[in-house]
Amino acid sequence: MYTFGIDIGSTTSKCVVLKDGTEIVSSSLFVGGIGTKSPFLAREEALKKAGITDKDISGTAATGYGRNRTEDADFNVSELSCHALGAHFIFPRVRTIIDIGGQDAKVISLSGDGKMRDFLMNDKCAAGTGRFLDVMAAILQVPVNEMEGMAQKAQKISQISSTCTVFAESEVISQLANGVEMPDLIAGICDSVAGRVASLAKRITIVPEVCMSGGVARNGGVRLAMERYLGTEIRFSEQAQLFGAIGAALYAFQKS
């Protein structure tokens, strides 16, 4: 039996085809989220890669901010529930998931059998989200995806103390003016995001294994800093961005 999961975010669309609730047959990821053609393209590609058509799908579940706008889904499921399912599928021993996306940060606590036990989301401030990294990257004129590589070259991680994005901006500029090296500064920025989310995470009892998901999880600088803050190893999978879609496909399997 094939089930289909689609995760329509604010900036990307992801799809997963799952066989019998145990095997990922294909996946796809397109830049562009709600209101673009990407959800459609992602769907087409995932089906094509799996070598199946709509008719072969027994159930489809949608998640992400755009989940209510898609008519193809049989179910729509909340993002965090999907993340929990997806993360547990990839890392069966995971108990804590830290998800840092473009707009918000979330921490999910799972019970031993993979059920969601508790969750927290960031407050209104943008400091601990991908948005903070985007703003800083724009100031430094460094592409976000190059931040990780540069952070690794840091000799002495600089301190970005401001939590307010506007203040952090002027702090970064004045550090630049004072001759702080770019890699040190970028490592400092990653550190600052991790610090903010770590204090959110600590509000839930952190039980290992811990894994990270969401777009920002791809940034190794943030992951390393998070390990330091939480004093525990953090698992990461290249499939972290697909957790939502995997979870949706699993949900569809459970319900079909």
Partner 1 sequence: MSVKEILGRFHEIAADPKAMKDKYLSEGREIVLVNYYTPEEIVHSMGAVPMGAWGADVKINEAKKYFPTFICSIVQSAVELGMKGEYAGAKAFIIPSLCDSLKVMGQNWKVAVPSIKFIPMTYPQNRKPEYGAQFTKAGYERVISELEELGLPRFSDEKLKASLSVYEEHNRVMNEVSELMASHPEISNQERSDVFKSAFFMLKEEHTALVKELINALKEQKPGTDKLKIMTSGIICDAPDILKILDENGLQIVCDDVCTETRQYRASYKEKATALDSLVSKFCDMDQDTLLYDADKTRIDYIVEKAKKTGAKGVLLLLTKFCDPEEFDAPMIRKACEKAGLSVNIIEIDRQMVNYEQARTSIETFRDLLNG
Partner 2 sequence: MAEEQVKKHRTPPDPNSAKYKLGQIAAKAYQDAFDAKVRGEKIGWCASNFPVEIPETLGIAVVYPENQAAAIAARGFGQQMCEISEADGYSNDICAYARISLAYAKTKDCEGQQVPMPDFVLCCNNICNCMIKWYENLAKELGIPMIMIDIPFNPDYDVPESEVAYVKAQFLDAIHQLEKITGKKWSPEKYKEVMEYSGRSSRAWLAATATAKYEPSPFNGFDLLNHMAVMVTARGKKEAAEAMELLLKEYEQNHAEGKSTYRGEEKYRIMFEGIACWPYLRATSHGLKDRGINMVTTIYADAFGFIYKDFDDMCAQYCKVPNAINLEYARDKRVKLCKENKVEGLLVHTNRSCKLWSGFMPEMSRQIGEECGIPVASFDGDQADPRNFSEAQYDTRVQGLTEIMEANKEG
Binding residues vs partner 1 (CB under 8 A)? 65, 77-81, 103-104, 115-121, 123-124, 203
List all residues 6 or more positions away from 7 whose beta carbon is below 8 Å from its beta carbon. Answer: 13, 14, 15, 62, 63, 64, 79, 82, 242, 244, 245, 248
Q: Give the one residue of 31, 173, 233, 254 binding partner 2; rule: CB under 8 A.
A: 173
How many other C-beta atoms lie within 10 A of the C-beta of residue 37? 11
Element (H or E) spanning 120, and its range? strand 116-121
Choose between 68 and 170: whose C-beta lies nearer to partner 2.
Answer: 170
Choose between 148 and 171: whose C-beta lies nearer to partner 2.
Answer: 171
Choose between 56 and 123: whose C-beta lies nearer to partner 1.
Answer: 123
CA dist., res. 249 & res. 6, Å (int): 7
Q: Considering CB distances under 5 to 8 angstroms, the limit depending on partner class, which of partner 2, partner 1, none binds residue 173?
A: partner 2
- Within 8-37, which residues bind partner 2 (CB under 8 A)? none
205 scored as a contact of partner 2 (CB under 8 A) = no
Cα dihedral sign for 161, 166, 171, 173?
Answer: positive
Choose between 25 and 206: whose C-beta lies nearer to partner 2.
Answer: 206
- Strand extents, DSSP E, 75-115: 75-76, 96-100, 105-110
- Within 102-141, which residues bind partner 2 (CB under 8 A)? 123, 125
Choose between 198 and 211: whose C-beta lies nearer to partner 2.
Answer: 198
Residue 39 C-beta-side C-alpha neighbours within 13 Å: 25
Q: Considering CB distances under 5 to 8 angstroms, the limit depending on partner class, which of partner 1, partner 2, none binds residue 197?
A: none
Q: Which residue has the tokens 């290992």?
A: 208
* Residues binding partner 2 (CB under 8 A): 123, 125, 161-164, 166-167, 170-171, 173-174, 195, 198-199, 202-203
